Structure 1
Amino acid sequence: MQYPQIDPVAISLGPLQVHWYGLTYLFGFIAAWWLCTLRARRTDNNWTAQQVSDLVFYGAVGVILGGRLGYTLFYNFSGFLADPLSLVRIWQGGMSFHGGMIGVLLAFGLFAHRSGKRYFEVADFSVPVIPLGLAAGRIGNFINGELWGRASDLPWAMVFPNDPLQITRHPSQLYQAMLEGLLLFAVLWLYSSRPRPMVAVTGLFGAGYGVCRILAEFFREPDAHIGFIAFDWLTMGQLLSVPMVIAGVAMMIWAYRHPTWPQPATAPAAPAPDKRRKKKGAARK
């Protein structure tokens, strides 16, 4: 199958270039804001529109800073030492989910502290919308022609232009967009559509993402400068995802054994009874 030749630059205005990779992240943030706004309108949520906007801003900063730092530390530290300015060239790709996750978790903590909400009230409210952003990011990887899959002779395997071997490979970026993105989003959105004990939704996200990532890594070519970590099949992505599965399952078990519930929306106060009308009615009797 022929790889679709897509120019990574979506818009060029003189020296200014807007890359599709950046636009996919922008789409993810807009989708997160819109979906969180829908969630905030539910009667069992105590969220305002301003809080949703602030939360998405905090999360976006956490994703960008954590994702880039995580990629540098986990996957490209030697490249950073050789070229420190590579840290800021986000448009060239190179974002780590696990680093972005750490950044978002820290952002949740800062937002919870400033808003007066409990930490997992913030996390459980937010994580169901994260997979759509992950899907958008994987589409950006596909457009950049990076993070391709392992060799394959399947009908939909394709030759990526930046591949030095020029062999047909799994489009593993699209596999990840479907598994970590669309499938995980559907599961989390349906699961969180009913009230759940605090921590359970976050736990399901961690376990679900970890499982999807481990499966997808069997089709993805390991980073050339890292290779397999062990056994000629264990990759860095799988190694970092195993603790997520264990922690996610443990969190769900704990949540159902020690259930606590998020603060419900504040109901409007009932009008005070009109005592004067009541007295007049009694006099008429």
Structure 2
Amino acid sequence: MPDPAATHWVHDLDPFLLHISGDFGIRWYGLSYLVGILGGWWLLARWAKAGRLPMQPQVVGDFIMTIAIGMVAGGRLGYAAIYEPSLFWTFSGHVPFWKLLAVHEGGMASHGGIAGVALATWWWSWRREQDLFVLGDALATIGPFGIACGRAANFINGELWGRPWDGPWAVIFPDARPPVPRHPSQLYAMFLEGLLIFAILLPLHARHRRPALSLGLFLTLYGVGRFVGEFFREPDKGQPGYDGVPAILGFMSKGQAFTLPLLVIGAALIVYALRRAARPEAYRLRPA
């Protein structure tokens, strides 16, 4: 039998863009978040200047930073709560001391990130008296770009690998057990959860003026993409579907189960948006 390493690429990408010393350096994972945030900032600022977002251009920075904090906090807390509760009580002798804060090591849950963004958006909407669904539409349009960046970083890190598969583009991830050829499920997710949705919503958002429509479409498309992609992804250790651990309802992973509410909420928002008249004035800044 031929050695799989002779016929398939063995993942050997460095998680550091610039490695300084020990665990200190510039990681692709952190850079992916920076690129996603800056890309979203740029788009929101353009929309604000063009009168397609009810916000002064100079306020966009404050808004995007509020959302970024909600995304990172929600993503990390969600990951710890769903997949690795030990992070809450694990400490180390080096910075940042509390493992929950060691975001640079990876470990973010997209469902938690979405919840964090939703709470941060609600808080901003309440404080600034701005339409929650209009803000949600804007974030739903730029969000998939950030998700794509994050999934690319997952691939570079060699984490969240796929199920064993001996196909032509299978990849061997040395940290996986067993280290056999697998689906590059991170790249599937980058397309299904990120690039494809971004390509659909970006031109649509420029045309429609129905609050909650883009948001509903994002939740629905993301839910479908995540649900499909999970069939190719290896479940996390000890989670439903992993090596003898019974799957939920016999076929679902935990990630798929948490996706179902997104599908329901997304469909409800689409119906809500289409049943109401277009409101182009909601997307323009109100006179002071």
Say whether the fold is shared (TM-score over 0.5): yes
1:121 alignment partner, one of 131, 134, 137: 134
Aligned partners of 2:147 and 2:73: how far apart in 1? 16
2:228 alignment partner, one of 205, 208, 215: 215
Give the structure 1 partner of residue 255 of structure 2: 237
CA RMSD of aligned residues (A): 1.9
Structure 2: gaps of 5 or more residues: 1-7, 92-97, 242-246
Query: Using a 3 Å threshold, how does the CA distance of structure 1 residues 165 and 252 change in structure 2: closer, same or farther?
Result: same
2:282 aligned with 1:257, yes or no?
A: no
Structure 1: gaps of 5 or more residues: 269-285
2:58 alignment partner, one of 46, 50, 56: 50
2:123 aligned with 1:110, yes or no?
A: yes
> In structure 2, the residue corresponding to 1:70 is in which secondary structure?
helix
Stretches of 4+ aligned residues off by more than 4 angstroms: none
Query: Using a 3 Å threshold, how does the CA distance of structure 1 residues 63 and 106 change in structure 2: closer, same or farther?
Result: same
CA deviation after TM superposition for structure 1 residue 267, in Å: 9.2
> In structure 2, the residue corresponding to 1:263 is in which secondary structure?
helix
Aligned residues: 267
Aligned partners of 1:164 and 1:221: how far apart in 2? 10
1:73 alignment partner, one of 57, 74, 81: 81
Aligned partners of 1:59 and 1:189: how far apart in 2? 19
1:1-285 aligned at under 5 Å gives the runs 1-14=8-21, 16-77=24-85, 79-80=86-87, 83=90, 85-228=98-241, 229-259=247-277, 261=279, 262-265=281-284
Query: Using a 3 Å threshold, how does the CA distance of structure 1 residues 156 and 254 change in structure 2: closer, same or farther?
Result: same
Identity %, equivalent residues: 37
Larger of the two Rg values belongs to structure: 1
Aligned partners of 2:105 and 2:138: how far apart in 1? 32
CA deviation after TM superposition for structure 1 residue 259, in Å: 3.4
CA deviation after TM superposition for structure 1 residue 24, in Å: 0.8
What is the TM-score with the length of structure 2 in the denominator?
A: 0.87
Aligned partners of 2:205 and 2:212: how far apart in 1? 11
